[in-house]
Amino acid sequence: MIRGCFLSGDTVLVWSPQGAISLRRDHRITGSLIGGLPTSPRQRDYMGLPLELLPEETSLLLKKGLIYISTYNEPHPDNETKIVHSSDCTDAIDHVNTDTVNTDTDYVNWNWPSTDEEVLRFRVYSDLWQKGYYITSGLKYGGEYLVYEGDPAIVHSHFIAKLLQWDEPISPLSLVQDGRLGGKVKKNTIYCTVNPTTDNVEYLTLSWSGIS
């Protein structure tokens, strides 16, 4: 079980380097690195820990028993000294807070998914993951997910996944927009839904070929 996973607001952050590596290498969970690099703080091309997990990734990992989510209390010592004059470096050093950080943790109850929309997202995400795909956020291309046949660091995504309720109509304009967008970025759009009769996740692939 991977530890070093902490709840921050409504997001789970992985602070363990070994945990982040294991998630990607062993479980096809990529997350998003959101931390700055100490040696290159003024750029955003390469990020470091923590690793931010999608709610779908968190729920899947918990369901599989692969992670342990904790919360912790930051220390607030009673004798903390406020440094009034930041220019007085010598005095500041004498008053640096050296209290040991409290590492006591409590297990967190995770209640996602809780709505119909979240349940649909989790069902589709889990089904794609079970089929062996890597899945990341698809907001960049107007979808719910980007679907990869290999590690996103090595290959490009093949599909833009868009989610629909079973009885939700698709307008002709949406078909044209999604088809043209997918063709422009060399990806196929897939509409994903859950069949209420069979309770299976079903897919409709949209491929734009244009008119020759």
CA distances from 200 to 33, 102, 112, 193, 197 (A): 33, 46, 20, 8, 8
Choose, from 125, 145, 148, 191, the residue flagged as catalytic. Answer: 148
Marked catalytic residue, from 63, 95, 140, 156: 156
148 is catalytic: yes
3-state secondary structure the chain: CEEEEEEECCEEEECCHHHHHHHHHHHCCCCEEEECECCECCCCCCCEEEEEECHHHHHHHHHCCCEEEEEECCCCCCCCCCCCCCCCHHHHHHCCCCCCCCCCEEECCCCCCCCHHHHHHHHHHHHHHHCCCEEEECHHHCCCEEEECCCCCCCCCCEEEEECCCCCCCCHHHHHHHHHHHHHCCCEEEEEEECCCCCCEEEEEECCCCCC
Annotated catalytic residue: which of 141, 162, 187, 191? 187
Question: Could you list the active site residues?
Answer: 148, 156, 187
